[in-house]
Amino acid sequence: MEKKKHIIIGCGTAALAALKQMRKNNSEDEIKLVTMEPHLPYSPTSLPYLISGKIKESEIPMVSDDFFDQMKAVWVRGKRVDHVDTEKGEVLYDSRERESYDTLLIATGSEPVLPPIPGLENEQVLQMRVLDHARDLMKRMKGTQAAIILGAGLIGMHVAECLAEHGVQVKVVEMLPRILPAYFDEDASGMIQRVLEKHGVSFFVGRRAKEVAWKKRSAEVSLEEGEPLQTDLLMVATGVRPRVAFLNGSDVKIKDGILVDSTMKTSVENVFAAGDVAEAKSFLTGEHGLNPILPNAAEQGKVAGSNMVGEKKEYSGWLPMNTFNFFGHRAVSVGKILPAKDDEVLLEKDDKNGTYRKIVCRQDRLLGATFLDTDVDAGVFQYLIRGRVEIGPHKKTLIRQPREVSLWLMRESEKKATVSIEE
Amino acid sequence: MKSFYDTLRIEEDVCPPDCTACRTRCVEVKQDKGSAGNGIREIHVPEIGVHTANTCNQCSEPACVDACPTGAITKSETDGIVRITQTKCLGCGLCDLACPYGGIEFDAAAKKASKCDLCDGDPQCIEVCPIHAVSLMKARSVVEHFHEDPLLMGSSLCVGCPAETTLRFVLRVMGKDTYLFGAPGCATNVINGMGIRTMVRIPSHMSNMTTVPSTMTGVKRYHRKMGRDVRCVAFVGDGCATDVGFQPLSGAAERNENIIFITYDNEGYMNTGIQRSSTTPYGGWTTTTPAMGKRKGKQMTSKNVPLIMAAHDIPYVATAVIGYPEDFLMKLKKAMAVKDGMSYIHILSPCILGWGYGISESLDVVRAAVDTNYFPLWEYERGEYRLTHVVEKPKPITEYTKLLKKFAHLDQQELDELQRIVNKRFNHIKALTRIERAPSEAQLA
């Protein structure tokens, strides 16, 4: 068979997963990865841990120096793709070079968004997405007394913890009425907030920043109501969006992200997308949407990699899930966090010990689970949801002994699974 | 070739309530090595009577590896073990979120993930389990003994029939210079092929049921005369071995011919329409021992052929099932090593159609047969009987019979009778294992 040429734009989790999958399928095709990063591939997930000193910078690369040689792939760094000409099947680099491809994988990930607040265009504003951001913050946080973080998403919360651990007075401003709004319900968010508050982080929840005024390196953040806040350090972590600007004017269809089908193919026949940049269908609703989390990127990259070399693989849809570890505590959520009208909720809450357990079911099937400081194997809950495992008669036991019962249900289901696949 | 690796097997739902032996030991071992965490954990849910343990599967495509943001988790290509490099571990917990099988232990307080590393090939939990529920399944060391596959693809045996797998296993272990012998039976299709297609790439010969051992004798003796060391292996059903061709088999054993005779026992004449044979068990349904009205399947007990073969005092006799491949491999190796006489291996080989079970359940059926002591795994080696797979807590026979439609008609009384027969036979073989090897003449002097 004739060798094809695949270009992968990006070098994050999805891109690497696709590369590995293509080689696993014994493809001998030519593969080139192009990244604008100068560093060996790393995940933005590592950055807060770098700041907290949990890990050394030399340890964060996801692969070793010789990985691309082993994979017989060409790795081009420090180069940006400015445009994709889908008609000719070419990518255009910032250096004005053109390069043709047989299939293209877009795995450019996401980029931080700056909300339209006057004063945020200042170069003192910190963000947290790439290694240079982390290096910036590490330089700046020495000797810093107070910091403000706009946005109480996972990135914001991680950085809040790191700074608080370093003795910095952290204030978090969140527009929505609770912290970690995408991953936890009101009760759980409240409990997490109280733990963080105990460690010196203060919150301004349901409050909007109106303007930022700079005085040399320090800033004054005025809120829509109440006293303005003073800070030495301002970080914006209000969210991310797919990095798709370079596709303007191409035939690749974009809604919030790049729309893909269940094989990760875009609206263009030989162009695929995976990871944060892709808008794939949700496992729970079947509707397209973004779910920029790492396990999702890995899975999508695998599916794309298979299909790009002609091995059929279907994506079953993304499931919201996350895990947040803070000051020795742990919060995890998998699947649906807020019940719909017909859903049943089982809840066990212990304010004294700070534990919280909640499962959302419809009839006999599990749809979502949230746990705070509960010893569980979170992935097993993902299994139960994705496998549509019947948990009906064991719901109550499940909430009482979530770890043990979920493992048992998983194993019982595994036994049946082997039978049904073959039949 | 695809890679095969060793994994831990934990017997389902047999743990003593409240036992934590495996986890306690695992934590100690990890501490001794200077790391923290744990790789195996008990599951006790008294409310639903569940007592078992869970550990990492060492998956072939581990989700934890894909989900790790720093590449701290890797799967070794040499031993297949999935390990965490602690210096690279963030403690982010994504591996735990990604693993659907509960193989990662995440400690939020210590901010570390840990998992089973099979103690680098010598799992310590096995040593401390009071009921021996944990064992290391050595796929790797079994597959290492494989030669090129002499069977081609696409046999005409029933879908899911374990006989093909068993024959393939035998021949892959035997390797070069093996001659295969068969007789009319299900495996005819494998050996002779259908129409113009055959499945075997090694010399093979089909005889009448009554002439297999004598044909083998001739071929073996001819090659020996010509100075060639070839292995003559028979793979025949119970109809041939234990009924129609039993006299010549006994004769070859009495002459102690250097052949390997393997019986795949499906407890009936499955190829001709599921008639009873002398190995059809008590209560078993066949078309000639029907279960209608007053008739309740076969009323006699089965003939214990491997024991009869052992009574011939040939160098090696064993029972085996494909569901315990390490045990099977060891026995094939021993049979192959015998150069001064005959080896006989008796295999329980379930028949999907004749026994009545699902096509994917053959291995469950043979394992249940072993775990209930219905078909104990033993060997007889030069005068000494040995149980090769000791079942610590034998399950009641109903755990076996419930899997099979051929026993569906049995009432409690008949099940009790079957249990009595199983116990009696097991005690018999157990008693034989206690007999000390007869002292040799030198020892007597």
d(CA B27, CA B116): 10
Arithmetic mean of pLDDT, B89-94: 93
Q: What are phi and psi of B180, to 5 degrees?
A: -105, 135
* Beta strand extents in B90-188 (DSSP E only): 104-107, 112-115, 134-137, 178-182
CB-nearest to A54 from B91, B101, B160 is B91
Whether the CB of A168 is below 8 Å from some CB of chain B: the reply is no
Of B187, B247, B166, B170, nearest to B213 by C-alpha is B247
Arithmetic mean of pLDDT, A386-413: 93
**A114-128, A246-260, B142-156, range with the lowest pLDDT:** B142-156
Q: Is residue B193 classed as helix, strand or coil in its secondary structure?
A: coil
Could A54 and B90 be called an inter-chain contact, meaning their C-beta atoms sit closer than 8 Å? yes
Could A329 and B361 be called an inter-chain contact, meaning their C-beta atoms sit closer than 8 Å? no
* A190 has pLDDT over 60: yes
What was the pLDDT predicted at A370? 96
Tell me how many degrees the CA angle B130-B134-B135 measures, rounded to the nearest 5: 125
Query: Which of the four pLDDT bands, split at 50, 70 and 90, describes residue A143?
Result: confident
Of A7, A154, A209, A152, nearest to A93 by C-alpha is A7
Give strand pairing partners of B137.
Answer: B7
Per-residue pLDDT reduced to its tens digit, A46-80: 999 999 888 999 999 999 999 999 999 999 999 99
What was the pLDDT predicted at B14? 84
Per-residue pLDDT reduced to its tens digit, B119-128: 998 999 999 9
Q: What are phi and psi of B268, to 5 degrees?
A: 165, 175
What was the pLDDT predicted at B196? 74
| Residue type for position B13 | D
Output the average pLDDT for chain A: 92
What was the pLDDT predicted at B444? 61
B337: enclosing H helix or E strand: helix B325-337
CB-nearest to B359 from A298, A321, A422 is A422
d(CA B196, CA A337): 62
Q: Could you tell me if A175 and A205 are in contact, meaning their C-beta atoms sit under 8 angstroms apart?
A: no
Could B96 and A377 be called an inter-chain contact, meaning their C-beta atoms sit closer than 8 Å? yes
* Residues B192-196: contacts with CB under 8 Å, at least 24 apart: B194/B156
d(CA A28, CA A59): 30
pTM of the model: 0.81
What was the pLDDT predicted at B2? 57
CB-nearest to A423 from B68, B101, B358 is B358
Strands B104-107 and B178-182 turn out to be: unpaired
Query: Which of the four pLDDT bands, split at 50, 70 and 90, describes residue A205?
Result: very high
How buried is residue B443: exposed, middle or buried, by Cβ count under 10 Å (0-12/13-18/19+)? exposed
Could B54 and A407 be called an inter-chain contact, meaning their C-beta atoms sit closer than 8 Å? yes
Could A329 and B108 be called an inter-chain contact, meaning their C-beta atoms sit closer than 8 Å? yes
**A63-67, A198-202, B184-188, B437-441, range with the lowest pLDDT:** B437-441
**A83-87, A416-420, B89-93, B142-146, range with the lowest pLDDT:** A416-420
What was the pLDDT predicted at B445? 56
* Chain A hits for B70, Cβ within 8 Å: 42-43, 46, 55, 59-62
Q: What is the CA radius of gyration of chain B?
A: 24
Share of chain B above pLDDT 90, in %: 77
Q: Is residue A28 classed as helix, strand or coil in its secondary structure?
A: coil
Residue A307, both tokens: 């299909």
Q: What are phi and psi of B82, to 5 degrees?
A: -90, 120
CB-nearest to A45 from B66, B92, B100 is B92
Query: Which of the four pLDDT bands, split at 50, 70 and 90, describes residue B443?
Result: low
CA of A379 vs chain B CAs: smallest distance (Å): 4
CB-nearest to A397 from B48, B66, B94 is B48
CA of A353 vs chain B CAs: smallest distance (Å): 15
How buried is residue A255: exposed, middle or buried, by Cβ count under 10 Å (0-12/13-18/19+)? exposed
Q: Count of CB contacts below 8 A, A vs B?
A: 143
Share of chain A above pLDDT 70, in %: 98
Query: Which of the four pLDDT bands, split at 50, 70 and 90, describes residue A422?
Result: very low
How buried is residue B87: exposed, middle or buried, by Cβ count under 10 Å (0-12/13-18/19+)? exposed
- Sequence-distant (6+) residues with CB within 8 A of B100 are A379, A380, A382, A383, A386, A410, B63
Task: Give the residue carrying structure tokens 């797919």.
Answer: A242
How buried is residue B190: exposed, middle or buried, by Cβ count under 10 Å (0-12/13-18/19+)? buried
What was the pLDDT predicted at B392? 80
Arithmetic mean of pLDDT, A144-158: 93
* B252 has pLDDT over 60: yes
ipTM above 0.85? yes
Q: Is residue A202 classed as helix, strand or coil in its secondary structure?
A: strand
List A residues 277-306 in contact with B (Cβ-Cβ < 8 A): 294-295, 298-299, 302
What was the pLDDT predicted at B293? 85
* B202 has pLDDT over 70: yes
d(CA B402, CA B352): 14
| Residue type for position A248 | N
Share of chain B above pLDDT 70, in %: 98
* Chain B hits for A322, Cβ within 8 Å: 97
* Chain B hits for A45, Cβ within 8 Å: 69, 90, 92, 94
Q: Could you tell me if A52 and B108 are in contact, meaning their C-beta atoms sit under 8 angstroms apart?
A: no
What was the pLDDT predicted at B126? 94
Residue B269, both tokens: 């004449």
* Chain A hits for B68, Cβ within 8 Å: 62
* Chain B hits for A42, Cβ within 8 Å: 69-70
d(CA B25, CA B39): 10
Q: Could you tell me if A127 and A236 are in contact, meaning their C-beta atoms sit under 8 angstroms apart?
A: yes
What was the pLDDT predicted at B175? 92
Could B70 and A43 be called an inter-chain contact, meaning their C-beta atoms sit closer than 8 Å? yes
Q: Could you tell me if A160 and A174 are in contact, meaning their C-beta atoms sit under 8 angstroms apart?
A: no
Best of B104, B106, B158 to disrupt the A interface (most A CBs within 10 Å) is B106
What was the pLDDT predicted at A1? 64
Arithmetic mean of pLDDT, B31-58: 92
Tell me how many degrees the CA angle A96-A100-A105 measures, rounded to the nearest 5: 100
Whether the CB of B52 is below 8 Å from some CB of chain A: the reply is yes
Output the average pLDDT for chain B: 92
Nearest residue of chain B to residue A332 (CA atoms): B97
Q: Is residue A83 classed as helix, strand or coil in its secondary structure?
A: strand
Query: Which of the four pLDDT bands, split at 50, 70 and 90, describes residue A223?
Result: very high
CA of B213 vs chain A CAs: smallest distance (Å): 38
Q: Could you tell me if B68 and A13 are in contact, meaning their C-beta atoms sit under 8 angstroms apart?
A: no
List A residues 72-131 in contact with B (Cβ-Cβ < 8 A): none
Q: Is residue B347 classed as helix, strand or coil in its secondary structure?
A: strand
**Is pLDDT larger for residue B141 or for residue A148?**
A148
Write a three-state SS string for A318-382.
ECCEEEEEECCEEEEEEECCCCCCCCEEEEEEECCCCEEEEEEEECCEEEEEEEECCCCCHHHHH
Arithmetic mean of pLDDT, B204-230: 95
d(CA B182, CA B178): 13
Per-residue pLDDT reduced to its tens digit, A356-393: 999 999 989 999 999 999 999 999 999 999 999 999 88
What was the pLDDT predicted at A421? 41
Nearest residue of chain A to residue B92 (CA atoms): A325
Arithmetic mean of pLDDT, B377-402: 93
